[in-house]
Structure 1
């Protein structure tokens, strides 16, 4: 992919950390590497203007996103709105908090018996298979990125082949594909995190080389103008010969699209 980047780098929004990210891409190209980027977007349930905006942005930069869809709330008209290159992952069951007062929010935590939680997840997986037969991959995204170990242990038995959280889950018998970058300041402004910090994280991830995919986590329903602008800048800068955007099933060989045999 070839796209002029000088206008972005020389804009008033430019920063040393953004230029450090671009330099890391240039160094990767000099080494003959192709850095893999991937995008996970959470909480999809229905067609919407923000989802359409995300898909248009992805289409313009060759990005195949994986949408974490909430099974209990997914509408049948979502599937026809998705291009063929979009993947769908399972985002829990109903994205309902079962934690008690003072506990961090979680749907798949230890508050309920693991067999009950796994039964809901199996029901959700079956529903997604029916709604998205051409988009679904057997990837579970726990709501709030939290899941009890005993629930994790039962995932292969219901047909889940891989897990994607965000920092809170680091060990599992299943293949684990966690994004490293979340641009939203959830515990503060709920707008864009400090941009220099985000660009610095991207630069560090790019400097690690092509072995580790670089994942970005988004929530299309929660984006404001600053978050949309950051995401577009990331995609513009990664229109670079050292970069390629991939889907989770390109990263994890056993993660296949479609229904099980």
Structure 2
């Protein structure tokens, strides 16, 4: 397989990892699922083609049996709790937050408890007890209450911070949210992956949002998978293994 020039730095880094006997550890999180869609079908087909596990962050209040039936056909897909309703409770001028300090922590935790139970029942056998906060933001008081609800892990975006449960963050986003809202340049995403690989040996999380992907975003995912999947110097990990 001949990779385009923009992917060579990642291929070289994986070769370096293979020679050192320290495979690059990657995992994939995709946010905002609610129901079966053509975009979801594309995501599941692409990950299945390359044998890449995917953790799908599902919005509990807005989903139901249809999504559960579709994901039951996708053995590499896991399900995490994506807040409750993906509803913004922040004030004007503030960054969007559903799980912030704008409401009592007890109120927020009660919603998250309902979401945990709902998804655990709908997706038995593929449910991962991980919370993915909408907009990747959560108040410390809410974090402190997560273990009492049964959560084993928390996943936001960026460097990990100490918490009373496992933290398994994503670190590289393929979407240019502040610009085109389409795919970021492949060179920039590849550079992020290589930089993080060289900085530490922990798992690196790739973040995607299937519902907003343009053709370039799907092509970028395929490029990353082609450069990494099945390589001796790289392992795509299941989220349940990261939690367990």
* Aligned with residue 123 of structure 2, among 119, 128, 132: 132
1:229 is the counterpart of 2:219: yes
CA distance in 2, matches of 1:161, 1:68: 15
Aligned pair partner of 1:110 in 101, 107, 121: 101
Q: Deviations over 1:107-163 (max 9, x none)?
A: 000000000000000011111112111111100000000000001111111111110
**What's the CA shift for 1:171?**
3.1
Q: Which runs of 5+ in 1 are unaligned?
A: 254-261
Candidates 121, 124, 148, aligned match of 1:157: 148
Return the alpha-carbon distance in structure 2 between the equivalents of residues 22 and 205 of structure 1: 14
1:52-71 deviation line (CA, Å, top 9, x unaligned): 00000000111110000000
Q: CA deviation at 1:84?
A: 2.5
Query: What secondary structure is seen at the aligned counterpart in 2 of 1:216?
Result: strand
1:39 is matched with 28
Are 1:81 and 2:64 an aligned pair? no
Aligned equivalent of 2:241: 250
Aligned counterpart in structure 2 of residue 220 of structure 1, from 206, 210, 217: 210
List alignment gaps of at least 5 residues for structure 2: none
Is 1:58 equivalent to 2:50 in the alignment? Answer: no
Q: Is the 8 A contact 1:146 1:169 kept in 2?
A: no
Q: Secondary structure at the match of 2:26?
A: strand
In structure 2, distance between residues paired with 1:208 and 1:79: 38
Deviation at 1:168, TM superposition (A): 7.6
Match of 2:114 in 1: 123
Once the two structures are superposed, residues 59-96 of structure 1 have per-residue CA deviations (whole angstroms, 9 ceiling, x without a partner) of: 01111100000000012111111113311000000000
Equivalent residue in structure 2 for 1:171, among 157, 162, 171 = 162
Q: 1:49 — aligned with what?
A: 38
What corresponds to 1:187 in structure 2?
178
Q: Which aligned segments of 4 or more residues in structure 1 are displaced greater than 4 angstroms?
A: none
Report how far residue 243 of structure 1 moved: 1.2
Deviation digits for residues 181-203 of structure 1 (CA, Å, limit 9, x no counterpart): 10101011101223322111111
| 1:177 to partner: Cα distance | 0.5
SS in 1 for 2:145: helix
2:87 is matched with which residue? 96
1:23 matches 2:12: yes
Q: What RMSD, in angstroms, separates the aligned Cα atoms of the two structures?
A: 1.3
What TM-score, normalized by structure 2, do the two folds share? 0.95
Residues paired across the two proteins, number: 241
Please give the secondary structure, in 2, of the residue aligned with 1:38. Answer: strand
Distance 2:217 2:16 in 1: 27
Do the aligned residues in 2 keep the contact of 1:37 with 1:244 (CA within 8 Å)? yes
